[in-house]
């Protein structure tokens, strides 16, 4: 099994977006990170009997949490800068938040579409492209009230956070969907998604520092 940083399938994209979605609906960074490790532990245990869930242990313990953690940190800093988290939690019902995450989480298994060596010759990662549409659709469907019809300053701020989340997911898709030549140092999806995730944290730090100055 290849080391995780050479992965060319859609899974690094999934492991960036799903933890970010978990944080987005919870707006609690510590709890989101804890739940990520709980899931990775459960996944490792289930893999003893389900071959589909088998993966590189470094991937489960290092790669996936690293990608997810960077995206959580970036959005957490934006929440602290703009106060989006309080507005979102105050205006969006818990049921809608849970429903959106469940759709995003379950749909993410569609990444298996391009999870084979036969798919590596393609120039596009169709699994990541399909998931981008599902992720965006879920966010707009569940949070349409604050995105399109805000009636208070809090709802407007909550809608801003949804649009920011969609922007982050869109940028991640831009680097995850194309498949560069296998000889390129950026051929691995993990490398491209990881670099963008790190850049997002840097930008968020600058925004946070500017807003707090």
Convert the pLDDT of each residue in 147-169 to its tens digit: 999 999 999 999 999 999 999 99
Q: What is the largest CA-CA distance in the chain?
A: 53
Among the residues of the chain, which ranges form H helices? 11-26, 29-46, 57-58, 64-82, 84-91, 94-107, 126-142, 144-148, 153-176, 189-212
In the chain the first and final C-alpha atoms are separated, in Å, by: 48
Q: What is the mean pLDDT of residues 163-184?
A: 92
- How many C-beta atoms surround the C-beta of residue 139 within 10 A? 21
pLDDT averaged over the chain? 89
Identify the residue with better confidence: 143 or 189.
143
Cα–Cα distance, 2 to 58 (Å, whole number): 10
pTM of the model: 0.90
**CA gap 85, 206 in Å, rounded:** 19
- Write down the pLDDT at residue 50: 65
pLDDT of residue 1 exceeding 50, the answer is no
Considering only residues 172 and 47, tell me which one the structure prediction assigns the higher pLDDT. Answer: 172
Summarize pLDDT for 27-77 with one digit per residue, the tens: 999 999 999 888 877 777 776 776 655 566 666 677 888 999 999 999 999
pLDDT-derived band at 113, boundaries 50, 70, 90: confident
Q: Above 90 in pLDDT, residue 117?
A: no
Q: What percent of the chain has pLDDT over 70?
A: 89
pLDDT band, residue 180 (cuts 50/70/90): confident
């Amino acid at each position: 099994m290849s080391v995780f940083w050479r992965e060319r399938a859609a899974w690094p994209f999934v492991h960036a977006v799903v933890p970010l979605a978990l944080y987005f609906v919870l707006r609690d960074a510590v709890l989101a990170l804890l739940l990520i490790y709980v899931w990775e532990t459960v996944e490792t245990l289930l893999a003893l009997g389900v071959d589909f869930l088998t993966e590189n242990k470094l991937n489960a313990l290092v790669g996936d949490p690293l990608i997810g953690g960077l995206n959580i940190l970036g959005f957490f800093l934006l929440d602290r800068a703009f106060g989006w988290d309080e507005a979102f939690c105050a205006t969006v019902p818990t049921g809608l938040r849970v429903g959106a995450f469940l759709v995003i989480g379950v749909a993410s298994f569609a990444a298996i579409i391009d999870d084979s060596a036969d798919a590596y010759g393609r120039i596009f990662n169709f699994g990541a492209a399909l998931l981008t549409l599902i992720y965006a659709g879920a966010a707009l469907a569940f949070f349409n009230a604050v995105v399109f019809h805000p009636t208070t300053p809090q709802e407007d701020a909550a809608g801003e956070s949804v649009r920011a989340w969609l922007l982050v997911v869109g940028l991640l898709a831009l680097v995850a969907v194309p498949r560069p030549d296998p000889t390129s140092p950026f051929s691995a999806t993990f490398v491209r998604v990881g670099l963008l995730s790190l850049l997002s944290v840097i930008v968020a730090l600058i925004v946070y520092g500017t807003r707090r100055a």
